[in-house]
Amino acid sequence: MDAAVAALRSGRPAEAERLAVRLLRSNPRDLGAAQILGNALLMQNRPGDAAEALRPAARRSGDPSIETLLARALAAAGRTDEALAQLRQTTARHPAYVLAVIELGDLLGRTGRLDEAVAALAAGVAANPDAPLPRIALGYLHLRRNDRAGARAQFSAACAAAPQRHDALVALAKVTALDGDFAAAAALHRRALALRPDDVATRINLGKCLLDLGDRETGEAALRAAIRAVPQATGLAITTLAAAAHGRAFLRPSDAARFLNAGPV
């Protein structure tokens, strides 16, 4: 089992598949091996095979993690109705299983059923009031419906429950900036960067907030730091520089790139 897990984690799905199949031959009820096999097949872009491999284990065990992985495979194979049916069954029996709740809300949202997605995630939040992930997912759905107050409420609650969660801080910073409170958004971005200093997207968003506040020097320094770390972010940094309220516009991208010390684009 350890070798199969190591193969999966190190990006060798074919090897993980072979090892998991061997484990299942000796013990067909090995849920861990079934889960490894399903993930290995998904990593190889074989969702139909993953679904068929996972279905017997899900039927026998009723394990919510196996059922959720089965639903993910079904959705990836284009069998959306089957995936939704499985997720609804899982969340009805295991309402506190966070991954199934999030998967259901995400799949409903991707199929345009936003009201159903909000209802599913709200039920998940009620069943898991201290879990940040359902709140973050629900907050982003509120943003898709242009309900910034609803989004802010969920993101704020997620940050209160888990103040060291980078994704919760980034989410709250996003809605705070949309509301025009750039100083508060910049403070949230800085807290997120303290947790993940290599997060280039957050550094660029910090730069935009600072530029919107009129702090050109610090904002431009943040953009320069971002593209020094990841030169491929140059285009995004240039766009951010031009879009900010107190940014700069250049006639040629190459001039903007030189200004940001990134070299030609």
Helical ranges in the chain per DSSP H: 2-9, 13-26, 31-43, 47-61, 64-76, 80-93, 98-110, 114-127, 132-144, 148-161, 166-178, 182-195, 200-212, 216-229, 234-243, 253-259
**Same domain, yes or no, for 154 and 78?**
no
Cβ–Cβ < 8 Å for 127, 156:
no
Q: Which domain holds residue 222?
A: 168-265
> Which range is most confident: 4-18, 170-184, 223-237?
170-184
Say if residue 265's pLDDT is above 50. no
* pLDDT, position 256: 87
Per cent of the chain over pLDDT 90 is 88
User: For position 256, which CATH number holds?
Assistant: 1.25.40.10
**Same domain, yes or no, for 181 and 248?**
yes
What pTM, to 2 d.p., does this model score?
Answer: 0.86
**Same domain, yes or no, for 244 and 179?**
yes
Last residue of a domain, one of 117, 143, 162: 162
146: left (phi over 0), alpha (psi -120 to 50) or beta: left
* pLDDT, position 253: 84
**Same domain, yes or no, for 7 and 83?**
yes
* pLDDT, position 136: 97
* pLDDT, position 14: 95
Last residue of a domain, one of 72, 90, 108: 90
CA separation, residue 3 to residues 22, 23, 87, 131, 147 (Å)? 12, 11, 30, 32, 47
Alpha-carbon Rg for the chain, nearest whole angstrom, is 22
Kindly report, residue by residue over 43-95, the tens digit of the pLDDT. Answer: 999 999 999 999 999 999 999 999 999 999 999 999 999 999 999 999 999 99
Average pLDDT, the chain: 94
**Band (1; pLDDT cuts 50, 70, 90):** confident
DSSP string, 167-197: HHHHHHHHHHHHTT-HHHHHHHHHHHHHH-T
**Same domain, yes or no, for 264 and 173?**
yes
**Band (235; pLDDT cuts 50, 70, 90):** very high
**Same domain, yes or no, for 53 and 103?**
no
**Same domain, yes or no, for 126 and 216?**
no
Say if residue 249's pLDDT is above 90. no
Count Cβ atoms below 10 Å from residue 48 Cβ, excluding itself. 14
Mean pLDDT of 226-254: 91
**Same domain, yes or no, for 182 and 243?**
yes
Could you give the number of structural domains in the chain? 3
Q: Both tokens of residue 204?
A: 């660029």
**Same domain, yes or no, for 82 and 130?**
no
**Same domain, yes or no, for 60 and 4?**
yes
**Same domain, yes or no, for 58 and 109?**
no
